[in-house]
Amino acid sequence: MATTSALPEIQMRILDFINRYVEERGMPPTIREIQQGAGLSSTSMVSYHLRALEKANLLSRYERCSRGVILQHTARPQSADVIAVPIVGQIVASKPVPTPDADALAAPDNVIHVARSLVGSTKGLYALEVRGDSMIDALINDGDIVIMRKVESPTDIKNGDLAAVFLLDRNESTLKRVYREADGRRLKLKPENPTMKPFYVDARQAMILGRVECVIRRVAQ
């Protein structure tokens, strides 16, 4: 196993940047961010040095995750404050669309790492990739990742919460701000986009799949 003192200067620089990034933001950087932060000429050079660091057992990599670089104990004390949340599919932030087959969306080896401080308990957490622009005023953009928490009961959702809603009678799903009418018969699903209007659905035909706990911004690669 290599020691950090025996590493080339550029690899020391990469480890230092990843360390500082995780400490400041609570999650690992992307390949592009490592390139910029460590001053490398290309993302292929980043990948080359990350492979070398992985062979030296100084980090682990999750190829299908954009923030899939995890430092080992030898590089820094392993933080119990970073947790892996499975990305299980997509959710539309637009007009509701037909929900694809769940088996087609499932990708249990695809995870995103987030700071535990952002989500508290890990119970019932999963992640969805956002498609559409109906929630831009809530700072949720196309390509962002929303960290969701499963709800045990519709009453777990308060008026104004951001939630993933499955419409049983349409086989459609959508991400919206949810409001329950006083008599409980209808839900108002409100976009966060000034060009789009709220719409109403029969509460009996709406299944709340989860509440948004936090948003991970898309980073251009």
pTM: 0.58
Angle between helix 31-38 and helix 43-55 axes, rounded to 10 deg: 100
Of 26, 84, 62, 29, nearest to 13 by C-alpha is 29
Per mean pLDDT, which range of 26-35, 188-197, 199-208 is the poorest? 26-35
pLDDT at 66: 60
Specify the pairing of strand 186-190 against strand 172-180: antiparallel
Out of 1.10.10.10, 3.60.21.10, 2.40.110.10, 3.40.50.2300, which CATH number does the structure's domain 4-71 have? Answer: 1.10.10.10
Active site residues: 134, 176
Residue 80 pLDDT > 60: no
Average pLDDT for residues 17-34, to the nearest whole number? 82
Helix (H) or strand (E) holding 71: strand 69-71
- Per-residue pLDDT averaged across 11-18, rounded? 89
Separation of alpha carbons 49 and 195, rounded Å: 46
- In a 3-state reduction of DSSP, which class is residue 73? coil
Share of the chain above pLDDT 70, in %: 78
Q: What is the DSSP letter of 122?
A: -
Model pLDDT for residues 106-133, shown as the tens digit of each residue? 444 577 777 776 777 788 888 888 888 8
Q: Are 129 and 90 in contact (CB under 8 A)?
A: yes
pLDDT above 50 for 102: no
CATH domain 82-216 topology: Umud Fragment, subunit A (2.10.109)
CA angle 162, 166, 171 (to 5 degrees): 150
pLDDT of residue 5: 52
Please give the mean pLDDT across all residues of the chain: 78
**205 has a pLDDT exceeding 80:** yes
CA dihedral 165, 169, 171, 172 (to 10 degrees): -40
Q: Please, which pLDDT band fits residue 218 given cuts at 50, 70 and 90? A: low
149-196: pLDDT as tens digits: 888 777 788 899 999 988 888 888 889 999 998 888 999 999 888 888
What are the structural domain ranges in the chain? 4-71, 82-216
